[in-house]
Structure formats: structure tokens, C-alpha cells
Structure 1
Amino acid sequence: MKKEFLIFQPDMAIEEIREVANRYIESEWRSIYESMHEQLTAAFVEIEDAAYGLYLDQLIPPIFEQLEDAGFSAMENLEEDDFVIAKRLIFRNSLEKWGAEHNRSRIFWNVIHDKQGNPIGTILTEIPHSHLKFDIPSAPVIYSLRESLKERIVQEIRLIKESG
């Protein structure tokens, strides 16, 4: 993985974090997808959507690891029944309401805190995927928001998806 694309600085704004994360995803998503496609196509037959978690377990963790190395925090306290993929994407902090069965969109959110514990904003991780077969029709995308409250995050996600 090309971690040289993942250089975060402790004083970065949420928009700068988004830009760095998207450059990394753009450079890596397809090669990981292609290298795992046969394995994940077979896994999809048995575990359906959970196959996407296996893919994201390879693509996404370096982003959060590098953020944390730069002094940011992206994880919240887990609840007993939380389901987490890619080490930091919590299903209760996601929405999936858009697209046809062959090209759905799930968006996860992570509030990002600085070294002092202050929220600087939220990164949204959009995962395009199919419910019919293992397929990621386009690159995952990171969005950024200045919001850090759940209700406002959900409103902003709806605005992004329903206006775009």
C-alpha cells in the first residue's frame, strides 16, 4: 500500500484530511479490489454483503492508523452490539438508502478529534456496492463536514446524496 499518500499533520483541517484520504483511496482501491476479486466473489455467495467488509478491512485501516499517528482520534466508545469493519467503521454510524440493487451506497461517519479531544469535524466514507453480486462499481469516496453532532451529520449526508 502506498502510505506515502497518507501524510497527515496534527494541524490539518477536516477538508485537508479528506483530500489526503481521497488521494490514497484513488491510488489503491482498484488494485486491492482486483487482487481480492476472485476470493470476494466466492465469499459473497456465502456471506453476501459481509464480503465488502473483508475488502474494506484491507483498504480503509491505513487511513485511520495514519490519522491516529498524527494525533487525531476517530473512534468512539463501542456499545455491546456494535458491528465494526475496517477497524473504525461502525454500522450504527452509517446510512444506506440510495441507489439500485446493483449500485447501492452506504455512508459511514467518523467524528474526528484533535490531540486535545476537540472535534474538528466528520469524515464520511461512501462505499458503492452491489447487492446482486460482489461488485464495487466506482471508487469509495471520503467527504468532510464541519459538523460533529449525529443529527446534523445525518442531515448533511441526506443533502449530499439527494442533491448529488
Structure 2
Amino acid sequence: MTNTHIDPLFRKAEKRLSDTWNSVYENKQTDYISTFNEYGDRAYGVWIQDFMAHVIEPFQQEGYQIKAGFNRHNSIENWGPPEERERCAWYFIHDQEGTPLGTLVLQIYHSHRSFFVPRAPQLLLLQVTEREDILSALSQATTRVRWDRKEVRNPSQDHHPITQWEYATDVSLADCLGNSESEYSSWSLDEALSHWGRYGWELVSVTPANGKMIAYFKRPLRFP
């Protein structure tokens, strides 16, 4: 299956997901909350099953084989805090003869504290079809974190004020150290750190990586 064939179907599936996920979420939220209170995270599997059949229809209408529903075995959850865990579930795409052609991946973000979806789910398309290859692809942040996509968030259910943080990294601090003792300048390092500090950023940690020094900063999240 070439990109010429799959891209239009993928875009249609994305549009269906955008149009469907929240209406299903809101219309049956009482049922999902009840299921969550009794069975925990299984409620999210029920929610996925309620909208994925509609999402994958464009592929099925063109004769491709792809199963809806939610199979926990064909998913992985490794990322994020308990209030916003990321799970990726995948769906194999086959041609009419059953030959694997690609993999559709559903990203969902969900809370373990209560039944709550903090931001909109998204779709990814992978060319690989073997489980280990899928896991390898999803382990790369560049596969899952897409700066070209707008993030759609649901209003938080937490009505208790808490301090929220934002983080940033700097991979250039090692440039202030030079390659020899004669090139070392505490002034240049002080200036680099102070440049961050002027804007409220606090240095949290420093980690060497591939000949560079990664500095991690944080500051309280500022709301407009």
C-alpha cells in the first residue's frame, strides 16, 4: 500500500476521530464513570470501542481489513504522570488477501485518578507491522510527539489550586567550559545560568549525553 493510497484514508480517519471522540465521551460519561469506579482503567477500553469502529470505516470501505475495538495486548502505556498517562493502541491494516500493509496507532491520554480524558486522542500511521518494530518506533519520542499538531485539551477537573511547573532544556552549557583549563571561564558559565535565572528558570539537574551537557530547568507555570 503506497502513501498515495493510504494518506487520504488516514486523513479521513483523523477527521472522524476529531468529530467523534468527545461526543461519545460526553454522551456516555456517566456510564464510563460508573465502569471506572468498579473496574478502573477498563472504562477507557470501553470508550475506545465505542468510537473506533466509526474511525476505521474509511479503510474498510476501500476493501482493507482492519479490526476495531480495543485489544490491550496490542497497546503500550509508558509515559506521563498518573493524571495524564499516554497509551498507544495499534490496529493492523491488511489488504484483501490478508497481507499486512501498515499499522494505525491511536494515542489516548487518560487519568488513573478518575475517568477523565485531559486531551484529545490522535492517530499515527506506521509502515511497520511486527510487534517489536512497532514497540521500537513508539519508544522514540519523535514518533509520538508531533509539534506540527495542535494540542486540544479538556478543562481540568481538579478544583484545588496546585503549583504547576513547566520545564526546559539547554544543550549548550558545555560550550562555556571550553576544551582546556585555560579556556575555562566561570564568568561565561555564570552568565549563561543567570540568563535563564532572569526569566524565573531554576537549574534542576545536569546530565552528560553524547559529548554534550544537558541542563534541565524548571519554573512555576505562568498563566496569561
Query: Which TM class, normalised by the smaller chain length?
Result: 0.7 to 0.9
TM-score (norm 1): 0.77
Asked if 1 retains the 8 angstrom alpha-carbon contact of 2:45 and 2:70, the reply is no
1:151 Cα deviation (Å)? 1.5
1:55–1:89 Cα change, 3 Å: closer
Within 5 Å, give how 1:1-164 maps onto structure 2: 13-75=5-67, 87-160=68-141, 164=145
User: Percent identity over the alignment?
Assistant: 28
Kindly indicate whether the alpha-carbon contact (under 8 Å) linking 2:12 and 2:58 is maintained by their aligned counterparts in 1. Answer: no
CA contact (8 A) 2:13 2:57 kept: no
Contact 2:90 2:105 in 1 (8 A): yes
Structure whose alpha-carbon radius of gyration is higher: 2
Q: What TM-score, normalized to structure 2?
A: 0.58
Q: 1 CA distance for matches of 2:144 and 2:86?
A: 14
Contact 2:13-2:58 at 8 Å conserved across structures: no
Q: 2:13, 2:56 within 8 Å by CA — same for their partners in 1? A: no
CA–CA separation in structure 2 for the residues paired with 1:123 and 1:40? 25
Tell me the SS of whatever aligns to 2:107.
strand
Distance (Å, rounded) in 1 between the aligned partners of 2:135 and 2:60: 24
The answer for unaligned runs of 5 or more in structure 1 is: 1-10, 76-86
RMSD: 2.2
**Bigger helix share:** 1
Aligned length: 143
Over 3 Å counting, the alpha-carbon distance change for 1:94 and 1:59 in structure 2 is same
More displaced stretch, 95-104 vs 25-34 = 25-34
Gaps of 5+ in 2: 146-224
Letter in 1 for 2:82: E
Give per-residue Cα distances to partners, 1:31-70, cap 9 Å, x unaligned.
1111111221222111111111221221111233453232
CA offset digits 1:90-140 (Å, max 9, x no partner): 211111001110101111112201223332211111111110000011111
